[in-house]
Amino acid sequence: MANKYLFTPGPTPVPEQVVQRMSEPIIYHRSKEFREIFARVNGYLQTLFQTKQPVMTLTSSGTGGMEAIIVNLFSAGDKVISVNAGKFGERWSAIGKSYGLNVVEIKIPWGETVAVPQIIEALSIHPDTQGVLLTHCETSTGTTTDVKSVAEVVQKYSNALVIVDGISAIGALEFRFDEWGIDACVTASQKGLMIPPGLTFIALSNRAEQSALVSTLPKYYFDLNKSLIAYENNDTPWTPAITLVRGLEKSLQMLTAEGMGNVWMRHERISKILHEGLTGLGLKIFSKNPSFCVTAVFLPDGIEWGNFNSQLLSEHNIIIAPGQAEYFGKIFRIAHIGNIDDSNIKIILSAIEIILGRMHDERTKREIQ
Ligand SMILES: *Cc1c(COP(=O)(O)O)cnc(C)c1O
């Protein structure tokens, strides 16, 4: 079986050393051995989030982590401002609504990002806002939200909790939980953390921990108070995905050895090389504030998504992602999160150049005939 090149925004490529670690014999999670691994993982996770707060590990995909934040920090009827600039901002709103929160949505056109004055205005109209829901990298549009600046004004103008979906961003974009004054952040295993899907991670500020003590929404498996208590002993309330935790120890060791600053710079550098290469091929980037995690690109006129995608796969073993919702068939998305470097970018750029060149030649031929 030929190796495929995964350029999808989850799952992302898993390094060989991590695969090896996960193939070791299973161990018991209530053992000294596991607790020692988990203690090291917990330390690395704090570096990843740039926090002194606990970072809890839950067995679930990222959406479960988002739901955990909502059910632990709020009660029915609480007002939250949700920035909806794409598929994942929309998900924050939907989770909030399904638990009876009063969701005030700031709707942003796809490919654009919320401006700080819009946040200030929404907070002045809704001074009773208890939380502001943000998406650091809106994966559906390849757009970065300026979480740092938004957090600053939320703190200045309100008492609302700043809540960040960092699922595609953590381990790729600069992020500083403590310094930026973030109250809750969630990420997942299959993106910047370079392991398969199945784990989600949550950090809470002291303020958010206080909210978790008074929230009345129903919860059991995702009760973060239980997770926080278990965390004290490097433990989890329920059986964790032990194998993934073992892989995680390796991947986080790799990330922290590289250094978070270097990891962030690598993502910035390779995304800029990709952007220049794509623009050089005459393609147009979709986002007005492109992220260093995912690049969304307009499909050129006359190029059909299905055809383009199947040529990338069959001839070059490359898997990319389509546009979502109304942008299906209009844009395509290349993820460059995690275990990716310059050589991967060269591979995808040359494949796109070959395919577009041939498709262009075929069209010219048809036009002549
Ligand atoms: C991938 C992703 C999610 C969803 O995570 P799942 O692990 O599929 O549940 C949520 N938010 C963002 C920004 C994502 O990129």
SS (H, E, C) the chain: CCCCEECCCCCCCCCHHHHHHHCCCCCCCCCHHHHHHHHHHHHHHHHHHCCCCCEEEEECCHHHHHHHHHHHHCCCCCEEEEEECCHHHHHHHHHHHHCCCEEEEEECCCCCCCCHHHHHHHHHHCCCCCEEEEECEECCCCEECCHHHHHHHHHHHCCCEEEEECCCCCCCCCCCCCCCCCCEEEEECCCCCCCCCCEEEEEECHHHHHHHHHCCCCCCCCCHHHHHHHHCCCCCCCCCCHHHHHHHHHHHHHHHHHCHHHHHHHHHHHHHHHHHHHHHCCCCECCCCECCCEEEEECCCCCCHHHHHHHHHHHHCEECEECCHHHECCEEEEECCCCCCHHHHHHHHHHHHHHHHHHHHHHHHHHHC
pTM across the whole model? 0.97
* Atom in ligand 1 nearest the alpha carbon of residue 191: 1
Q: Which tens digits make up the pLDDT trace of 185-222?
A: 999 999 999 999 999 999 999 999 999 999 999 999 99
Ligand 1 centroid to 363 CA: how many Å?
A: 38
User: Which pLDDT score is estimated for 249?
Assistant: 98
**Tell me: domain 5-10+260-368, CATH 3.40.50.970, correct?**
no
Q: Which atom of ligand 1 is found nearest the CA of 61?
A: 7
| CA-nearest residue, atom 12 of ligand 1 | 167
Other residues' Cβ atoms within 10 Å of the Cβ of residue 277:
17
CATH of the structural domain 16-258, one choice from 3.40.50.2300, 3.20.20.100, 3.90.1530.10, 3.40.640.10? 3.40.640.10
Residue 296 has pLDDT above 90, yes or no: yes
Q: For residue 233, how far is its CA from the centre of ligand 1 (angstroms)?
A: 29
Q: Give ligand 1 pocket residues (Cβ under 6 A).
A: 9-10, 61-63, 88, 135, 139, 165, 167-168, 188, 197
Query: What percent of the chain clears pLDDT 90, i.e. is strictly above it?
Result: 95
User: Which ligand 1 atom sits nearest the alpha carbon of residue 65?
Assistant: 9
Looking at the predicted structure, is the pLDDT value of residue 341 above 60?
yes
Q: What is the mean pLDDT of the chain?
A: 97
Residue 168 C-alpha to ligand 1 middle, in angstroms?
A: 7
Q: How confident is the model at residue 282 (pLDDT cuts 50, 70, 90)?
A: very high
pLDDT of res. 367: 81
Identify the pLDDT of residue 306: 96
Q: Which atom of ligand 1 is nearest to the CA of 294?
A: 15
| Atom number of ligand 1 nearest to Cα 138 | 13
CB 352 within 8 A of CB 298: no
**How confident is the model at residue 2, as a pLDDT?**
59
State the average pLDDT over residues 325-336: 97
**Average pLDDT for residues 121-148, to the nearest whole number?**
98
pLDDT-based confidence at 302, cuts 50/70/90?
A: confident
**174-186 residue pLDDT tens:** 999 999 999 999 9
Q: Nearest 5°: CA angle at 140, between 137 and 142?
A: 50
Confidence bin at 359 (pLDDT 50/70/90): confident
Residues of 5-19 as b/e, b for ≥16 C-beta within 10 angstroms? bbbbbbbbbbbeebe
- Spell out the domain ranges in the chain: 5-10+260-368, 16-258
pLDDT tens per residue, range 244-271: 999 999 999 999 999 999 999 999 999 9
What separation in Å is there between the alpha carbon of 208 and the centre of ligand 1? 22
On the question of pLDDT at 283 being above 60, the answer is: yes
Q: What's the confidence (pLDDT) of residue 106? A: 98
- Section 8-14 average pLDDT: 96
Q: What is the pLDDT of residues 18-76, one digit of tens each?
A: 999 999 999 999 999 999 999 999 999 999 999 999 999 999 999 999 999 999 999 99
